[in-house]
A and B are shown apart, each in its own frame.
Chain A
Amino acid sequence: MIDAYIGLLVLWPVAAGLACLGLRGQAARSALVLGTAAVLAAAAVGLATQAPLTASPAFLSSATALHAAKGASFLFPAYFLFVGLKEKHALVIGFALLQLGLAAFGEFGLPAPALVQTAVVCDGLSLALVLVVSLVGTLISVFALPYMRHHEEHLHLKTSRQPQFFMILLAFLGFMNGLALANDLHVFSAFYEATTLCSFLLLGHDQTAEAKKSGLRALWMNSMGGVFLHAGILLIQKQHGLADIQALVDPALWTGLSLLPIALLAVAACVKAAQLPFQAWLLGAMVAPTPVSALLHSSTMVKVGVFLCLRLAPVLEGTTTGRVLTLAGAFTFLGASALALGQSNAKKILAYSTAANLGLIIACAGIGTPVAIAAGVVLMVVHAATKGLLFLCVGDMEQAIGSRDLEDLRGMIARTPVTALAAAAGSMAMILPPLGMLAGKWATLEAASASPMSMVMMAVGSALAVVCWVRFTGTLMSGVAVAVNPAPTSSLSTGPVLTMLAGVVGLGMAAPWLNAMLLPVGQAIMLPDGWALLPPLFITAMLAWILGMKVLGRQSAAKLATPYLGGLPSAAPGSFVGALGRNWTLSEGNEYATELFGEAKLTKIAGVLASVLLLALVGGALL
Chain B
Amino acid sequence: MNLNTLYLAVAGLVLAPLLGGLVAGVDRVVTAKLQSRMGPPLFQPFYDVGKLWSKVIAPASHWQGLFVRWALVASLASDVVLAAGGDVLMCFFVQAASASFVALGAFCGNSPYGKLGAQRELFQLLAYEPVFMVGILCMAKAAGGFDAFSIMAAQGQPLLFKLPLIVPGLLFAVLVKLRKSPFDIAASHHMHQEVVRGVYTDYAGRDFALLEIAHWADVTVVLWICSFLWATGPLQMLATGLVFLFAALIIDNISARLTWRTMLKTVAPLTLILATANLVWLYLE
Spell out A's residues near B (CB within 8 Å).
Answer: 431-434, 438, 442, 445-446, 449, 452-453, 455-456, 459-460, 462-464, 466-467, 470-471, 473-475, 477-481, 528-529, 532-533, 536-537, 540-541, 543-544, 547-549, 551-552, 554-556, 558-566, 586, 588, 590-591, 593, 595-596
Q: How far is the CB of A400 from chain B (nearest CB, A)?
A: 20
B283 touches A452 (CB 8 A): yes
Q: Is the CB of B113 within 8 A of A466?
A: no
Q: Which residues of A contact B74 (CB under 8 A)?
A: 544
Interface residues of B in 78-111 (CB under 8 A from A): 81, 86-87, 89-90, 93-94, 96-97, 100, 103-104, 106-111
- Beta-carbon nearest neighbor of B109 in chain A: A479
Whether a CB of chain A sits under 8 angstroms from the CB of B276 is yes
Interface size class, chain B: 35 or more
List chain A residues, Cβ under 8 A from B146. Answer: 446, 528-529
| CB neighbours of A471 from chain B (8 A) | 107, 119, 122
Chain B residues, Cβ within 8 Å of A479: 60-61, 107-110
Residue from the set B60, B90, B125, B133 with the largest chain A CB neighbour count within 10 Å: B90
Indicate if the CB atoms of A555 and B59 lie closer than 8 Å: yes
Q: How far is the CA of A541 from the CA of B57 in the complex (A)?
A: 27
Can you name 13 A-B residue pairings with CB atoms under 8 Å? A460-B272, A463-B129, A470-B103, A474-B104, A481-B110, A536-B1, A537-B81, A548-B69, A554-B65, A555-B63, A561-B57, A563-B110, A564-B114
B271 at interface, CB cutoff 8 A: no
Within the complex, the shortest CB–CB distance from B90 to chain A, in Å, comes to: 6
A449-B141, A452-B283, A479-B110 as given contacts; A462 in contact with B133, CB under 8 Å = yes
Q: Which residues of A contact B1 (CB under 8 A)?
A: 532, 536
Query: Are B111 and A474 interface neighbours, CB within 8 A?
Result: no
In addition to A547-B69, A555-B64, A564-B111, 6 A-B residue pairs with Cβ atoms within 8 Å of each other are: A433-B94, A459-B130, A474-B115, A481-B110, A555-B62, A560-B58
How many Å lie between the Cα of A187 and that of B264 in the bound state? 50
For the complex, what is the distance from the CA of A590 to the CA of B107, rounded to whole Å? 11
Query: Which residue from chain A places its CB closest to the CB of B107 in the assembled complex?
Result: A474
B201 CB within 8 Å of chain A:
yes
* Contact (Cβ within 8 A) B93 A442: yes
Q: Which residues of B contact A452 (CB under 8 A)?
A: 137, 141, 276, 279-280, 282-283
> Are A528 and B145 touching (Cβ within 8 A)?
yes
CA distance A564 to B100 in the complex (A): 22
List, in ascending order, chain A residues with CB within 8 A of B196's CB.
564, 566
Chain A nearest Cβ from B112, distance in angstroms = 6
A528 closest partner in B (C-beta): B146
- The answer to whether B125 and A463 have CB atoms under 8 Å apart is yes
Within 8 A of A (CB), among B227-273: 261, 264-265, 272
Across the two chains, which residue of chain A brings its CB closest to B58? A561
C-alpha spacing A431/B103, complex, angstroms: 14
| Complex partner residue of A593 from B61, B73, B123, B280, CB under 8 angstroms | B123
Q: Which of B34-83 contact A (CB under 8 A)?
A: 57-70, 73-74, 77, 81
| Complex interface: chain A residues within 8 A of B106 (CB) | 474
| Residue among A548, A586, A591 making CB contact with B112, cutoff 8 Å | A586
User: Which of chain B's residues have a CB closer than 8 A to the CB of A596?
Assistant: 264-265
Task: Report chain A residues within 8 Å CB of B147.
Answer: 529
Partner of B59, one of A474, A560, A590: A560
Q: How far is the CA of A434 from the CA of B89 in the complex (A)?
A: 12
Contacts of A536 in B (CB 8 A): 1
| A346 CB, min distance to chain B CBs, angstroms | 16
- B65–A466 contact, CB under 8 A? no
Cβ of B118 < 8 Å from any Cβ of A?
yes
Decide if B62 touches A556 in the complex (CB within 8 Å).
yes
Q: Which residues of chain A come closer than 8 Å to B123, judged between CB atoms?
A: 467, 591, 593
Which residues of the other chain, B, contact A438 by a CB distance below 8 angstroms? 93
Q: How far is the CA of A548 from the CA of B62 in the complex (A)?
A: 11
How far in angstroms is the closest Cβ of chain B from A179? 34
Query: Which chain B residues lie closer than 8 Å to A460 at the CB level?
Result: 130, 272
In the complex the two chains form, what is the Cα distance from A291 to B130 in whole Å? 35
In the complex, A438 Cα to B63 Cα: how many Å? 24
- The reply to whether B145 and A558 form a contact with Cβ atoms under 8 Å apart is no
Q: In this assembly, does B126 line the interface, its C-beta being within 8 Å of a C-beta of chain A?
A: yes
Expressed in whole angstroms, the minimum distance between the Cβ of B205 and any Cβ of chain A is 10
Residues of B within 8 A of A470 (CB): 100, 103-104, 122
Which chain A residues border B145 with CB–CB below 8 Å?
Answer: 528-529
Please report the C-alpha to C-alpha distance between residue A433 and residue B276 in the assembled complex, in whole angstroms.
25
Chain B residue contacts of A463, Cβ below 8 A: 125-126, 129-130, 133
B134 within 8 A of A: yes
Complex: A562 Cα to B133 Cα, angstroms? 40
What residues of chain A lie closer than 8 Å to B112, measured between beta carbons?
A: 563, 565, 586, 588
**Residues of chain B lying within 8 A (CB to CB) of residue A529:** 86-87, 145-147
Q: Which residues from chain A contact B107 at a C-beta distance below 8 Å?
A: 471, 473-475, 477-479
Residues in chain B near residue A591, CB distance under 8 A: 119, 123
Interface string of B126-154 (1 = CB under 8 A from A): 10011001100100110001110000000
Residue among A459, A464, A481, A548 with most chain B CB within 10 A: A459
CB pair A477 B104 closer than 8 Å: yes
Contact A431 B89 (CB under 8 A): no
**Separation of A438 and B202 alpha carbons in the complex (Å):** 29
B131 CB to closest chain A CB, in angstroms? 8
Question: Within the complex, which residue of B66, B114, B129 is in contact with A552, where a contact is CB–CB below 8 Å?
Answer: B66
- Are B90 and A433 in contact, with the CB atoms below 8 A? yes
Chain A residue with Cβ nearest B105: A474
Q: How far is the CA of A562 from the CA of B62 in the complex (A)?
A: 13
Contact A474 B103 (CB under 8 A): yes
Contacts of A563 in B (CB 8 A): 60, 109-112
Report which residue of B1, B62, B202 has the largest number of chain A beta carbons within 10 angstroms of its beta carbon.
Answer: B62
Query: Of A449, A533, A543, A558, which one neighbours B86 at CB under 8 angstroms?
Result: A533
Residues of B within 8 A of A544 (CB): 69-70, 73-74
What residues on A are CB-neighbors of B68 within 8 Å?
551
A533 touches B90 (CB 8 A): yes
